[in-house]
Amino acid sequence: MRYQYGSDGGSVVTDNAGNAIVGRPGAVWTARTGGSQVTDILTLAGTATGGTVTTDSKGRIAFQGPDGATATYWWDGGDGSRWAVLPTETDRIARAQVDTYGIPAAAKGNAGGVATLDSGGKVPAGQLPDQSASYVPYPAGGQAGDTLIRGAGSTVTWGRLTAGTVAPWSGLDAVTAPRWIAHRGGSLLAPENTLEAMRTAAELGADAIEIDVYRVADGGLFVMHDTTVDRTSNLTGSQATALTVPAALRGRIDAGTWFANTWPNDLRIPLFADVLADIGNTIPMIVHCNNAGSGALAVAEIQRQELDQNVLIMAWTEAELVAARTAGIPTCLLDADGVLSGQTYAGLITAGTTYLGVDYSQTTNATINAAAAAGLRVLVYTVNRRADYAKLPTAGSVWGIVSDDPWYVKAASQLRTTDLFSAGTFYHGMPGITDAVDYRGFFQMGSPNWFGLDTSGTNLASNGGYASTMQGYLGPLPSTFTLDCDFVIDVADYATASAQWTFTVGDTQYDDDTTGTTARPNGYNVLVRSNGTIDVYKVASATATSIGTVATAAITAGTTQHLKIQFTATQIIVTRTNIAAPNSVTVTDSTYRGSLYPHLGVRDTKTRWANVALT
């Protein structure tokens, strides 16, 4: 029994721009790399190919695989890469072939096979799977969005589902304020705007999720934030001109590894229709319409999938809210400082928009209170640190908090005493610094499992070779504690280049290359330099002052070291426990205790940490 391979929309060979490559011959292999060539393959008409499969006029790969084969094969057109080709519609094709040709008598009784054969050697009808839904023709004049509905007995018809959503937006009114909304699906925990991020947010119990939609060149609607595809994928160019629906569906897109090196390299940029179909009826959703025309397209797709009750449409301009207002879908106008230009709060409500989105860093509490008093429901974005959340008027004026990691900010995530680097991805409370853009480090799986930061060479040279990532899942730290960890400095650009352990008052960011008080909050900074020097600094009003230093043995690149940092009521003791004395520095200082948060950082080194433990 031969199964059909390819011929579907996903088995199209394209160049880097997404254009179909037609008429290209190629060989079929058993593996992505290596493997063996498959020669026992036929055309769809049943003619032997000799092992060569040529893309058709639309760039598609199609053939019949070897007898009984259902494994994934790989087509190689000679350009150094291979395309996965899977059997398509396997069950339907298998049934048709069994109905026509029967199966070998030897197959009877095999695991997962059939129990008996009829007198003609065919599978009895009673043992065939019910595939009736696959053969119900789409009705003439049917509506887009119609779905197959199974009635009494085996009756299958096309129709509309009208039971309504199970996760209505209006249901959030019953939720205690503030409502917690996962920004871009929760973009500190998973690659933003991917289905994986959205599923994670739903599973972790966010009150709602926010996603971005963008209208592309052929009128399709993608879920992606930026005007270009460069930052969050392996593609390059403007969304509006570089992406089309067919090219994205068939192209090789990596929307995962930019986030963390351990994420899969085949996550795709999802279509808005796919997002609605996947999770649209499981959690309330804010749809941020990012460019001209995206608002109307989003509403049309929402109505097609009958999810009108499940969403809030959000945009920077009222023009993109018109379609939603007409459809009776709630809307939100974004205005960073909340002080409307050319509009009033009352006018906005009269126009049909009852939500206002403001930037916590650009607005004031007075503005938030005024908007709420006027009758608007105020959403505050993008709040990723507990210290920023604590400054907001959350007693009643803030209707919802939009956050990349709402579970951490509202202190709902479990407070840990050890790292979770073994997960190979970022955990709650691990934001990086603004000047490093999206870079927060890498993971190296093994024994032990490492988390690392790399600013060696030219990496992050624009920030003076400095990067850090908060380890908020360990905070706030008690007044007295001991933090132990292993670390490895793999590369150091010079003798005084360092790995750093920073303890800040509150969970604000710490950027050692910036002197502003918002980037260098009060606290302590412990540096272990490549030459072995341990320096302890106290930071007050953005100024770092040395309060202790000791010269210890130089660190050999690539070797595992151990550091113990002890905070007593009056002292800070830093010790390299794996070397002989001199290996420790003791500082007498009790200025900052309690409510400290730890950060791991690097200056012009590649450093990794493991076995972080707090006692």
- Is the predicted pLDDT of residue 269 greater than 50, yes or no? yes
Instruction: Name the maximum alpha-carbon separation found in the chain.
Output: 93
Read off the pLDDT band of 109 (50, 70, 90): low
What stretch of H or E contains 277?
helix 272-279
Q: Pick the residue with more confidence: 387 or 128?
A: 387
Give the mean model confidence (pLDDT) for residues 438-443: 95
- Is the predicted pLDDT of residue 124 greater than 80, yes or no? no
- Is the predicted pLDDT of residue 613 greater than 90, yes or no? yes
Read off the pLDDT band of 101 (50, 70, 90): very low
- Is the predicted pLDDT of residue 145 greater than 90, yes or no? no
Give the mean model confidence (pLDDT) for residues 335-352: 96
The proportion of the chain whose per-residue pLDDT surpasses 90, expressed as a percent, equals 63
φ, ψ of residue 596 to 5 degrees: the values are -85, 150
Read off the pLDDT band of 254 (50, 70, 90): confident
* pLDDT the model gives residue 7: 62
Read off the pLDDT band of 116 (50, 70, 90): low
pLDDT, tens only, 24-70: 999 999 988 889 999 999 887 788 998 999 998 878 888 888 887 87
Tokens representing 453 are 């930061």
Q: Which residue has the tokens 């730890």?
A: 598
- Is the predicted pLDDT of residue 503 greater than 60, yes or no? yes
Read off the pLDDT band of 242 (50, 70, 90): confident
- Is the predicted pLDDT of residue 460 greater than 90, yes or no? no
Give the mean model confidence (pLDDT) for residues 336-346: 96
Three-state DSSP class for residue 309: helix
Under 8 Å CB-to-CB from 301, ≥6 apart: which residues?
A: 221, 272, 273, 276
pLDDT, tens only, 378-414: 999 999 999 999 999 988 899 999 999 999 999 877 7
Under 8 Å CB-to-CB from 546, ≥6 apart: which residues?
A: 535, 536, 537
pLDDT, tens only, 207-221: 999 999 999 888 889
Tokens representing 290 are 């990012």
* pLDDT the model gives residue 20: 74
- Is the predicted pLDDT of residue 133 greater than 50, yes or no? no
* pLDDT the model gives residue 214: 92
- Is the predicted pLDDT of residue 137 greater than 50, yes or no? no
CB count, 10 Å around CB of 140? 5
**Whole-angstrom Cα distance, residue 595 to residue 313?**
38
Q: Pick the residue with more confidence: 82 or 247?
A: 82
**Whole-angstrom Cα distance, residue 384 to residue 437?**
14
Please state, rounded to an integer, the average pLDDT across all residues of the chain.
86
Give the mean model confidence (pLDDT) for residues 340-366: 97
* pLDDT the model gives residue 90: 43
The proportion of the chain whose per-residue pLDDT surpasses 70, expressed as a percent, equals 85
Give the mean model confidence (pLDDT) for residues 75-82: 85
Q: Pick the residue with more confidence: 519 or 510?
A: 510
Read off the pLDDT band of 114 (50, 70, 90): low
* pLDDT the model gives residue 85: 82
* pLDDT the model gives residue 141: 46
Lowest mean pLDDT among 57-61, 63-67, 348-352, 365-369: 57-61
- Is the predicted pLDDT of residue 615 greater than 80, yes or no? yes
- Residue of 369, 358, 362 whose CA lies nearest to 402: 358
- Is the predicted pLDDT of residue 100 greater than 70, yes or no? no
- Is the predicted pLDDT of residue 577 greater than 80, yes or no? yes
* pLDDT the model gives residue 94: 40
Q: How crowded is the C-beta side of 487, counted as CA atoms within 13 Å?
A: 31
Read off the pLDDT band of 115 (50, 70, 90): low
Read off the pLDDT band of 135 (50, 70, 90): very low
* pLDDT the model gives residue 591: 98
CB 301 within 8 A of CB 221: yes
Q: Pick the residue with more confidence: 530 or 74?
A: 530
* pLDDT the model gives residue 536: 98
* pLDDT the model gives residue 45: 79
**Whole-angstrom Cα distance, residue 357 to residue 3?**
53
**Whole-angstrom Cα distance, residue 552 to residue 580?**
9
Q: For the CA atoms of 143, 148, 149, 152, what is the dihedral angle to 10 degrees?
A: 130
Q: Pick the residue with more confidence: 264 or 610?
A: 610
pLDDT, tens only, 550-571: 999 999 999 999 999 999 999 9
Alpha-helical runs (H) found in 43-194 = 90-101
Q: Pick the residue with more confidence: 187 or 153?
A: 187
Read off the pLDDT band of 9 (50, 70, 90): very low
Q: Pick the residue with more confidence: 267 or 504?
A: 504
Give the mean model confidence (pLDDT) for residues 153-161: 54
Among 149-153, 235-239, 515-519, name the most confident range: 235-239
